[in-house]
Amino acid sequence: MDRRKMLALLGVSPAVIAGTPSFAGTAPAPLSAAAGCESESMVSVLNPGIETKLANRVPLAPRLSTLHGKTIYLVDFDWGGMQENGGVLKAMQAWFAQNMPSVKTIYKIKGGNFVTDDPGLWKEIADDHGDGVIIGVAG
């Protein structure tokens, strides 16, 4: 549908919307009755645009020079739930066993959901001297 037609159906001029700045985190000041506000209820709209300051970037870990004799953890974030997403990581584990038998692979499912931390798993990887981690979010 054409935006102008949609706005016309709503009784709003495109110039009014284009000329109204919106800033994230700020709500418009309430209108007084003299300004033409017939009801006390208002709708506040926030701008979904990104923040102007980006998060600090963390560099990626350096690549291993070789995988020969290394221990690689295959960590499933279990994004789909009920341990349904291990197919790709288990296929990778089978590939390593067949094509690079010197690489030890350990398949683990991260506790919690995909946005929660699992300090026990990260400690296990560090204590076991895991050389690398492949994280599968939805595979």
3-state secondary structure 36-93: CCCCCCCCCCCCCCCCCCCCCCCCCCCCCCCCCCCEEEEEECCCCCCCCCCHHHHHHH
Please indicate whether residue 133 or residue 81 has the higher confidence score (pLDDT).
Answer: 133
- 115 occurs within a structural domain: yes
| Count of the separate structural domains present in the chain | 2
**53-106 residue pLDDT tens:** 778 888 988 899 999 999 999 998 877 665 565 688 889 999 999 999 999 999
Shared-domain flag, residues 75 and 132: yes
pTM of the full structure: 0.57
Shared-domain flag, residues 130 and 76: yes
- 41 occurs within a structural domain: no
Window from 15-29, 34-48, 102-116 with minimum mean pLDDT: 15-29
Select the highest-mean-pLDDT range: 2-6, 67-71, 115-119: 67-71
What's the pLDDT at 46? 78
| H/E element, 105 | strand 104-109
- 131 occurs within a structural domain: yes
What's the pLDDT at 47? 76
Shared-domain flag, residues 23 and 77: no
Residue 68 amino acid letter = H
The DSSP symbol for 7 reads: H
What's the pLDDT at 56? 87
- 128 occurs within a structural domain: yes
Owning domain of residue 22: 3-27
Please report where in the chains the tokens 């506040």 appear, as a residue: 44
- 102 occurs within a structural domain: yes
- 126 occurs within a structural domain: yes
- 18 occurs within a structural domain: yes
- 50 occurs within a structural domain: no
